[in-house]
């Protein structure tokens, strides 16, 4: 199937559903991240606060009322025993000036109540740290402790959570997209089958599509297509009826006119009168031929209702019936007409296949000059039954062969007085029998070979 490129229903649905699915997955990932990382970070903050509270208990006042801090050496070593993060502390007096620990640590500027740890992010030199400040009573004043820790554990925790959260979400997203794509394909498969069924049909097949085989949502569309095909069938039938009726109505008076002209020719002895009657007779014959061809065209068109059913037959036997009629015509035109017939079984309509042979023979005799040669052959080639009519007339240029199959088309410079329907009728009949019609170069120096390959019966 393109315009941008021409998107099928499957792709359209995927483009509509995929963003919503991805958004849901991302929201799920964000929720998992927050529900996992936030509690862990709070737990680390609480541990840092526990250390600060324990250190705050080491603050006191001396005899002069000044704040003092005492920490056993073993406890100080324990604070620095973390293999991942670096930890610091600082004790502050009543003026919140460092009196012990890491003097580079500063007391937070934000106000907070005693008894409630205050968490904040700061820097120690060029290192970002997470810190907590705890106030305690030093005599009749307040002093406090700040503990700080680097963020290595927190960063490792976030990376681990991101990997453990986003990787499954990414895999789930890919799996969901794959399931979405294949699910849409499976859901749309009835539409694909329906499309393939319509595409397989020839222009002659206007039978209704089974509505029951289509999904419920598509059944109104199928019913509309069936109505359209019924209308096309009715229009085609009306056209065929008109052509058939017109041809029938024309044949009788034209046959009577032709007989009267022939009688007048027998009774007229003046050369000038006979010449005029001969011209009129030739025109009447052409008109009668046109009426016959119109009737044949009506029978050969798609959807034509005919009493000539398809039956197994042999093209060789059908061609034999033409010998007695067409050999005298060829002799009258001083053309060598030959029949090379071998068994060629097909399933077809005898009346239309006979008309196909008649039109090919008529064309070949019409355009082959006196002294020429025309041969009708049939037989088997490569598993197909084949009918071919070969002549050594002027032939048709390769660029014009497709055009020669159109209705009422007479190629410039061609002799004779045809109506331009012969090859069009042959093409319609061949298509109706699933046969392949080809116009080729004749094996000789010039001429045309009309080759029709039928599927074997």
Q: CB neighbours of 361 closer than 8 A, spacing ≥ 6? A: 322, 326, 337, 374, 376, 389
Q: Which class for 395: exposed (0-12), middle (13-18), buried (19 or more C-beta within 10 A)?
A: buried
Q: In CATH terms, is domain 311-455 a member of 3.30.565.10? A: yes
Report phi then psi at 312, rounded to 5.
-65, 130
Residue 51 reports pLDDT greater than 70: yes
300 close to 352: Cβ distance less than 8 angstroms: yes
Q: In CATH terms, is domain 207-306 a member of 2.60.40? A: no
Which residues of the chain are in CATH 1.10.287 domains? Answer: 207-306
H or E segment at 36? Answer: helix 9-56
pLDDT given for residue 32 in this prediction:
74
pLDDT given for residue 304 in this prediction:
57
Which range among 27-36, 110-119, 335-344, 432-441 shows the weakest confidence by mean pLDDT?
27-36
Q: Is the pLDDT higher at 270 or at 33? A: 270
Q: CB neighbours of 312 closer than 8 A, spacing ≥ 6? A: 345, 346, 347, 457
Which residues of the chain are in CATH 3.30.565.10 domains? Answer: 311-455
pLDDT given for residue 66 in this prediction:
86
Output the average pLDDT for the chain.
82
Q: What's this model's pTM, rounded to 2 decimal places?
A: 0.50
Residue 449 reports pLDDT greater than 90: yes
pLDDT given for residue 165 in this prediction:
73
Place of tokens 């056993």: 72
């Amino acid at each position: 199937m393109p315009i941008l490129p021409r998107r099928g229903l499957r792709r359209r649905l995927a483009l509509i559903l995929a963003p919503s699915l991805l958004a849901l997955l991302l929201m799920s990932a964000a929720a998992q991240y927050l529900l996992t990382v936030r509690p862990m970070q709070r737990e680390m903050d609480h541990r840092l606060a526990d250390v600060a509270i324990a250190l705050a208990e080491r603050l006191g006042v001396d005899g002069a009322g000044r704040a003092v801090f005492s920490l056993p050496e073993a406890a100080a070593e324990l604070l620095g025993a973390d293999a991942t993060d670096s930890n610091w502390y600082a004790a502050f007096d009543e003026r919140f000036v460092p009196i012990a620990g890491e003097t580079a640590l500063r007391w937070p500027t934000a106000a907070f109540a005693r008894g409630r740890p205050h968490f904040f992010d700061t820097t120690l030199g060029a290192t970002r740290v997470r810190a907590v400040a705890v106030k305690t009573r030093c005599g009749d004043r307040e002093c406090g402790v700040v503990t700080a820790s680097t963020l290595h554990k927190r960063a490792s925790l976030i990376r681990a959570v991101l990997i453990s959260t986003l990787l499954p979400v990414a895999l789930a997203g890919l799996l969901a997209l794959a399931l979405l794509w294949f699910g849409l394909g499976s859901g749309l498969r009835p539409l694909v089958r329906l499309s393939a069924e319509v595409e397989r049909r020839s222009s002659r097949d206007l039978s209704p599509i089974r509505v029951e085989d289509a999904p419920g949502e598509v059944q109104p569309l199928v019913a509309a297509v069936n109505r359209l095909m019924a209308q096309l069938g009715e229009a085609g039938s009306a056209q065929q009826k008109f052509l058939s009726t017109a041809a029938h109505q024309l044949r009788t008076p034209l046959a009577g006119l032709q007989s009267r002209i022939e009688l007048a020719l027998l009774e007229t002895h003046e050369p000038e009168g006979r010449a005029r009657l001969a011209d009129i007779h030739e025109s009447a014959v052409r008109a009668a031929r046109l009426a016959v061809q119109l009737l044949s065209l009506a029978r050969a068109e798609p959807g034509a209702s005919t009493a000539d059913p398809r039956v197994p037959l042999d093209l060789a036997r059908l061609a034999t019936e033409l010998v007695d009629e067409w050999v005298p015509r060829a002799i009258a035109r001083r053309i060598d007409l030959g029949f090379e017939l071998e068994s060629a079984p097909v399933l077809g309509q005898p009346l239309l296949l006979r008309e196909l042979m008649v039109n090919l023979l008529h064309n070949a005799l019409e355009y082959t000059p006196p002294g020429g040669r025309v041969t009708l052959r049939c037989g088997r080639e490569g598993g197909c039954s084949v009918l071919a009519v070969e002549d050594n007339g002027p032939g048709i240029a390769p660029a014009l062969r497709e055009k020669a199959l159109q209705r009422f088309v007479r190629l410039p410079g061609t002799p004779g007085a045809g109506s331009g329907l012969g090859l069009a009728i042959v093409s319609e009949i061949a298509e109706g029998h699933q046969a392949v019609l080809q116009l080729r170069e004749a094996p000789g120096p010039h001429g045309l070979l009309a080759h029709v390959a039928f599927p074997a019966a």
